[in-house]
Amino acid sequence: MNRRNIAALLALALWTSGCAALLVGTGAGVYSYIEGELRRAYPADLAPALEAVRQALDGLKIRIESTDADGVTTLLKAKRSDGTPVTVKVSRLSPGVVEIGVRSGFVGLWDRRFSELIHATISQRLL
């Protein structure tokens, strides 16, 4: 991707989100990083996506403490072994497409790298 395309994507992200946003392109897909939450859309239904999230968190030794679901969005609150909070939000965007948002760390001290690790682990199980 050339610089002009990247600049256009960043401008579009800022315009559509109404807040500071960053799009990160990787070989695995495009992420948006908004206010500490790393989001990515996956081609999957809600149930398999939730199972992939649970397996990923279990594999990374992250303990799920609570789950709140309304049929469209599921919010999982968890903690790493060192007590650092992790929040994963799985939302159905359309049939066969979900968005997964991962936030790791404390307010103002988000751990983007660990959120990327969680997404990579989810992706291995889902794609």
Rounded CA separation 45/92 (Å): 7
Asked if the structure places residue 108 within a domain, the reply is yes
Structural domain total, the chain: 1
For residue 68, the domain's CATH number is: 3.30.310.80
Rounded CA separation 108/26 (Å): 25
The residue range of the domain holding 71 is 37-126
Contacts of 87 (CB under 8 A, 6+ apart): 37, 75, 76, 77, 78, 101, 102, 103, 104
> What is the Cα 5 distance to its own chain's centre?
23
Model confidence, pTM = 0.75
Weakest-pLDDT range from 19-28, 44-53, 55-64, 110-119: 19-28
- pLDDT category of residue 6 using cuts at 50, 70 and 90: low
Asked if the structure places residue 14 within a domain, the reply is no
Residue-wise pLDDT tens digits, 40-92:
999 999 999 999 999 999 999 999 999 999 989 999 999 999 999 999 999 99
Residue 113 has phi, psi (to 5 degrees) of -60, -40
From the list 98, 21, 45, 109, the residue with the least C-alpha distance to 88 is 98
Asked whether the predicted pLDDT for residue 19 surpasses 70, the reply is no
From the list 36, 73, 33, the residue with the least C-alpha distance to 53 is 73
Identify the three-state secondary structure at position 1. Answer: coil
